């Protein structure tokens, strides 16, 4: 399928690059509010648990040892990490691509990914039957219909930011040599094609329209269970929100503090009809700033450049501090451990020693708790204890306290059964993950310019 696209891409490489005016693209001091849709809102907690474990393994399976040094190091070289293909916890955002803008593409908004990519098709209305057999879904981006589409050349500096097939550049073809990328996920699913540039149109819920020229993966070859099956749902690609240079926030930042900020507000997806969650680009609402609490974003270990790390210093249950050594939360010399805030994982994962002490502290306050439905601690939903669940609070570096309500960590795991929505880490060197269930009902602000994470309670609709 990749070779089918090559002739058209070679023609495009000979054209001069068009530009967009500043008014259309990199405007400063704005906030774009984009609705977020939950994939699989009716998925069971047991299915979430299974898929979260797959995602966790995919996120951190490569974290156990540092990467081998590159034979030709470059300051532009950076690893690409993505596990958005796995898990039930993703949220979708609608974006339009190309000039003129094509129908909306639904991309997974994922803080555990860097690369922006979407399915691509070279087909027009007169595609041959051989092309039609391999054509991606109808919702794919048709790059030949966009006057602003340009593939990067394989010798361009941006091409060094993405993983490549075995032979990145053909030394015999210097002029027509598009930048190829190939990313293989932990389950051997593949997104591969050409690293390119085009115009993204963002239609805000406030009717504001912004156009941004961004680099992205134009995926001619998408295969494998996690990218083509029910797990990926109706998504046509991934909007990487991570800390790497190819991510969406990294590309739209233009040098001023207010630009290198994004935030999201997640609502309870189990409600019917589910309320709307939001992704905000360009800053946090002014009304929330006075109530915002901040904790530093910690430096990433070399093995995990994508993720947003925060520091847990204590955990309390009903006001009593659980005796957990701080070293349990630390990143070790191999880059393992620490705590990551992730938008694409549903449940919360904790290092085994911390998890067991927290479960014991909660159990002491419940007289009828038992293991059930795949979870270690559950109570009858109709019991008096269910009405007065223990309150949990995380003490974060910098003095911030994160105290979500019990419904963020006790879920209806089966009919008449409420369970603690946490799991012990089984792999990955003990890295903790604060999942999106724990984040519901809060506005989270990723202030990358000042290396800090802000949060405050919010009903989302008032943003």
Mean pLDDT over all residues of the chain? 80
> Before 441, cis peptide (omega within 30)?
no
Contact 196, 143 (CB under 8 A): yes
pLDDT in tens, 111-151: 988 999 999 987 665 554 444 444 444 489 999 999 999 99
Predicted pLDDT of residue 89: 65
Predicted pLDDT of residue 7: 41
pLDDT in tens, 150-170: 999 998 999 999 988 766 677
User: Span 209-238, mean pLDDT?
Assistant: 84
Which residues contact residue 72 at a Cβ distance below 8 angstroms, ignoring those fewer than 6 apart? none
Region for 249 from its dihedrals, namely left if φ exceeds 0, alpha if ψ lies in -120 to 50, beta otherwise: alpha
The structure's pTM equals 0.85
């Amino acid at each position: 399928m990749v070779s089918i696209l090559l002739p058209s891409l070679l023609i495009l490489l000979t054209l001069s690059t068009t530009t967009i005016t500043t008014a259309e693209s990199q405007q400063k001091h704005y906030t774009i509010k984009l609705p977020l849709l939950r994939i699989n809102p009716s998925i069971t907690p047991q299915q979430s648990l299974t898929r979260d474990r797959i995602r966790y393994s995919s996120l951190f399976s490569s974290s156990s040892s540092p990467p081998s040094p590159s034979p030709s190091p470059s300051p532009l070289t950076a690893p690409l990490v993505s596990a958005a293909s796995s898990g039930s916890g993703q949220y979708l955002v609608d974006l339009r691509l190309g000039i003129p803008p094509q129908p909306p593409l639904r991309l997974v908004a994922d803080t555990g990914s860097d690369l922006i990519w979407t399915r691509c098709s070279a087909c027009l209305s007169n595609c041959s039957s051989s092309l039609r057999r391999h054509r991606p879904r109808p919702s794919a981006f048709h790059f030949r219909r966009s006057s602003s589409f340009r593939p990067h050349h394989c010798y361009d500096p941006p091409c060094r930011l993405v993983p490549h097939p075995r032979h990145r550049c053909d030394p015999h073809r210097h002029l027509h040599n598009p930048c190829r990328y190939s990313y293989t996920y932990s389950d051997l699913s593949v997104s591969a094609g050409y690293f390119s540039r085009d115009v993204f149109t963002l239609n805000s819920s406030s009717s504001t329209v912004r156009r941004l020229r961004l680099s992205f993966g134009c995926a001619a070859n998408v295969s494998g269970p996690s990218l083509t099956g029910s797990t990926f749902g109706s998504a046509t690609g991934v909007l990487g929100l991570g800390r790497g240079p190819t991510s969406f926030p990294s590309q739209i930042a233009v040098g001023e503090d207010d630009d290198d900020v994004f935030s999201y507000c997640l609502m309870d997806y189990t409600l019917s009809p589910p309320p709307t969650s939001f992704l905000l680009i360009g800053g946090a609402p002014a009304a929330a700033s006075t109530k915002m609490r901040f904790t530093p974003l910690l430096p990433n270990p070399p093995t995990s450049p994508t993720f947003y790390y925060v520091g847990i210093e204590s955990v309390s249950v009903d006001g009593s501090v659980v005796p957990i050594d701080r070293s349990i939360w630390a990143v070790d010399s191999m880059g393992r451990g620490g705590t990551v805030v992730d938008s694409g994982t549903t449940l919360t994962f904790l290092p085994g020693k911390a998890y067991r002490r927290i479960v014991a502290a909660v159990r002491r306050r419940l007289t009828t708790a038992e293991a059930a439905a795949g979870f270690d601690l559950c109570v009858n939903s109709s019991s008096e204890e269910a009405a007065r669940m223990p309150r949990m609070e995380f003490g974060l570096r910098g003095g911030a306290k994160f105290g979500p309500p019990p419904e963020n960590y006790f879920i209806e795991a089966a009919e008449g059964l409420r369970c603690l929505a946490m799991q012990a880490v089984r792999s990955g060197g003990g890295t903790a993950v604060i999942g999106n269930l724990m984040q519901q009902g809060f506005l989270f602000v990723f202030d990358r310019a000042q290396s800090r994470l802000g949060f405050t309670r919010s009903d989302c609709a008032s943003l």
